[in-house]
Amino acid sequence: MVEDTKCSCGSANVAIFPCVGASNVGQLSNKVAIELEQQNFGNLMCTVGIGARAPGLMKSAEASERIIAIDGCPVNCARKTLELAGFKVDRHIVISELGIKKNKDKNLKDNEISEALEKTLEKLQSE
């Protein structure tokens, strides 16, 4: 895995919202978000809580300087949920657009998680 990499988002107050969909790429979006939080890229937040308009989550998102949405596929549920709630998504990653084919296998292998994380980090650093 990539270590000591800094997000080009330029802020310590970054909210990360994954889609956590019912496919491999949806599950990878959550695993990637967890890894990004562990590497201090930002704070993992609950996307469904934004859809539910949970007051605490809404305030946390409002207080964030930057928002990253990580979707599994082009349906873009995480990004759309945030936008429908009135938030501007600063960075948007779509796991299936990183060369990872969508399927229904939710038993992720370590190498799949590593690949998705590496490609996500590359995309975050290139924009």
pLDDT interval class at 73 (50, 70, 90): very high
CB-CB neighbours of 110 under 10 Å: 9
pLDDT of residue 6: 41
Residue 8: CB atoms within 10 Å: 10
- Return the structure tokens found at 85: 């709630």
pLDDT tens profile 43-60: 999 999 999 999 999 999
pLDDT band at 5 (very low <50, low <70, confident <90, very high): very low
The DSSP string of 13-60 is -EEEEE---SSHHHHHHHHHHHHHHHTTS-EE--HHHHHTT-HHHHHH
- For residue 126, what pLDDT is reported? 86
pLDDT in tens, 86-101: 999 999 999 999 999 9
Q: Give the pTM.
A: 0.89
